[in-house]
């Protein structure tokens, strides 16, 4: 074999390896899994004080009303596009999703000026818990204001085309307990899907919303080593996470309370962070990203379909079916007082 042929063969091998690496490792935005094409638009609503509330609407391109409505609230300081893959998937499955930014996304108007959880000392941890409670209350009110604006017909294109009697909230991180806070104020919010959010605030401690789904990352179940870590942040973060386990267990004793766990997922993987390159090992493959995203998408569509449309067939088909990606902590809810969450 001549040197030229050897060189060309080496170039071909390198090209194949690089192409395979790109296909397997470089994140790609997923395609929504439902049958409907998705339309996206922005609008500005007004709250009760006349202040602007900028929202994004994701809906089926051919909307057949009245369609079920889900309000989306992102994580601390996040924007309404933080979980784009998930809200687009819901829209492709027939839901109208209206997303609003977290109130701390604008640092200039944030009362805490961008400060979120500080966990380096015991005093910081205590103050952070108080700050989180205030944050949940404020963002919960924001969600209620969006729903009130929709009820007032401020989005004319959606008037009479969305169902406002039974509404869901999808909340990422602190958006989850914010959804619970909103549900405690507006009885039309009957379902909250919490993406790994801690139960901050009294509204989150109360079991008020009739349909509740908690999707947890690996961080929801800290190890003994993390709880006793010499690193203050790791130790305090683990202890804050552990506080929620008994509260979540109590929620699972009620009908229509569901708890699933994706052990391979970090907190940010439960939003669009899943589709960014990880900065630490192990490197995630696109096969893993697809499996995690599809597991989340299936449970969201099934949960909201059951809660908002009273069609529980899809959710029943998923229950108890743990696999390599998703594990059910409490896969179904028998009559109150008879179930205990398992971990």
Residue 333's pLDDT is 43
Q: What does 187-232 look like in DSSP terms, one character per residue?
A: TTEEEEEEES----SHHHHS---SEEEEEE-GGGS--HHHHT-SSH
Domain 31-330 has CATH 3.40.50.1820: yes
Residue 136's pLDDT is 95
Question: Helix, strand, or coil here: 118?
Answer: coil
Residue 212 neighbours by CB distance under 10 Å: 26
The residue behind tokens 């766990």 is: 261
CA dihedral 230, 232, 238, 239 (to 10 degrees): 100
Residue 43's pLDDT is 97
**Could you list the mean pLDDT of each consecutive 10-residue stretch along the chain, which spans 343 residues?**
69 62 70 94 95 96 91 96 96 97 89 87 92 94 97 91 96 96 96 95 78 94 92 92 88 89 92 84 84 96 97 91 89 40 33
Residue 206's pLDDT is 75
Q: Measure Cα distances from 273 to 86, 149, 170, 199, 262 in Å.
A: 12, 30, 16, 22, 15
For the chain, which residues make up each domain, given as ranges? 31-330
C-alpha 73, offset from chain centre = 8
CA atoms within 13 A on the CB side of 290: 11
Residue 337's pLDDT is 32
C-alpha 309, offset from chain centre = 20
Sequence-separated (6 or more) residues with CB below 8 Å from residue 107: 77, 113, 114
Residues in the chain: 343
Indicate the burial class of 33 (C-beta count within 10 angstroms; 0-12, 13-18, 19 or more).
middle
Residue 190's pLDDT is 97
Residue 334's pLDDT is 39
Alpha carbons 192 and 300: distance in angstroms, whole number = 10
- Asked whether 133 and 108 are in contact (CB, 8 A), the reply is no
Indicate the burial class of 337 (C-beta count within 10 angstroms; 0-12, 13-18, 19 or more).
exposed
């Amino acid at each position: 074999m001549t040197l030229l042929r050897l060189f060309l063969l080496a170039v071909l091998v390198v090209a194949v390896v690089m192409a395979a690496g790109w296909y397997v490792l470089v994140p790609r935005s997923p395609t929504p899994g439902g049958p409907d094409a998705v339309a996206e638009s922005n609008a500005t609503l007004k709250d009760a004080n006349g202040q602007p509330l900028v929202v994004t609407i994701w809906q089926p391109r051919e909307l057949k009303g009245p369609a079920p409505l889900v309000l989306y609230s992102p994580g601390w300081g996040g924007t309404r596009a933080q979980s784009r893959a998930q809200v687009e998937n819901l829209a492709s499955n027939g839901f109208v999703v209206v997303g609003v930014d977290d109130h701390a996304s604008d640092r200039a108007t944030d009362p805490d000026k961008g400060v979120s959880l500080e966990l380096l000392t015991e005093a910081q941890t205590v103050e952070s818990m108080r700050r989180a409670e205030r944050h949940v209350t404020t963002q919960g009110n924001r969600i209620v204001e969006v729903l009130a604006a929709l009820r007032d017909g401020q989005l004319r294109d959606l008037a009479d085309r969305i169902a406002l009697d039974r509404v869901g909230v999808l909340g990422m991180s602190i958006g989850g307990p914010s959804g619970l806070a909103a549900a405690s104020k507006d009885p039309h919010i009957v379902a909250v899907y919490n993406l790994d959010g801690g139960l901050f605030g009294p509204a989150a401690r109360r079991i008020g919303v009739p349909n509740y789904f908690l999707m947890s990352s690996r961080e929801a179940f800290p190890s003994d080593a993390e709880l006793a870590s010499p690193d203050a942040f790791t130790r305090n973060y683990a202890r804050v996470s552990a506080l929620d386990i008994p509260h979540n267990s109590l929620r699972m004793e009620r009908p229509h309370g569901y708890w699933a766990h994706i052990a391979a997922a970090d907190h940010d993987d439960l939003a669009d962070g899943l589709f960014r390159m990880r900065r630490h090992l192990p490197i995630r493959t696109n096969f893993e990203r697809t499996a995690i995203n599809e597991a989340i998408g299936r449970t969201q569509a099934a949960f909201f379909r059951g809660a908002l449309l009273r069609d529980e067939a899809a959710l029943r088909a998923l229950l108890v079916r743990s696999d390599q990606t998703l594990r059910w902590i409490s896969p179904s809810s028998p009559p109150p007082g008879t179930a205990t969450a398992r971990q």
